[in-house]
Amino acid sequence: MKFMMLMQGTQSGWESMGTWAPADIQAHIGFMVNLAKELTKSGELVMAEGLDVPANAKIVRAQKANAPIVTDGPFAEAKEFLAGFWIVECSAQRVIEIAAKASTAPGKGGVPMGIAIEVRQVMSAPHVEG
């Protein structure tokens, strides 16, 4: 089965990273890189990416494909945002183990952050006769 693990972030958490010592930032990034290497080695990693800050996000809506309405997003009042994601191929039990490990990424002073990781199965499209 394939699962998407969605890493949630908060604006205050993002802003607080500006107060981290360089060693703390390196430890956090190193943790994420090592997790990706571990999952690649085990054959479970399909894809993983961090995402740009919400201030640079765009929302696109359209009633016609050639007439998009583009606005800034997400909404300013949003307290949480999608910070990154992984797509893994493994069992339902294993994805929980992986998400728990990702949640413990070190933060300021090396303290585990307890990052919220949403886990959702990637579904196949139903067969449609064409």
**Structural domains in the chain plus CATH codes:** 2-61+68-121 (3.30.70.1060)
- What is the CB neighbour count within 10 angstroms for residue 38? 13
Compute the distance between CA of residue 47 and CA of residue 68 in angstroms, rounded to an integer.
Answer: 29
**Residue 130 or 16, more confident:** 16
Q: Are strands 2-10 and 80-89 parallel, antiparallel or unpaired?
A: antiparallel
pLDDT at 122 over 80: yes
Distances (CA, A) of 113 to 58, 98, 119, 126: 28, 15, 17, 38
Calculate mean pLDDT across residues 18-33: 95
DSSP string, 69-126: EEEE-S-TT-SEEEEEEEEEES-HHHHHHHHHHHHT-B-GGG-B----EEEEEPPPPP
Instruction: Give residue 107's pLDDT.
Output: 94
Share of the chain above pLDDT 90, in %: 66
Q: What is the pLDDT of residues 38-62, one digit of tens each?
A: 999 999 999 999 998 888 888 899 9
pTM: 0.84
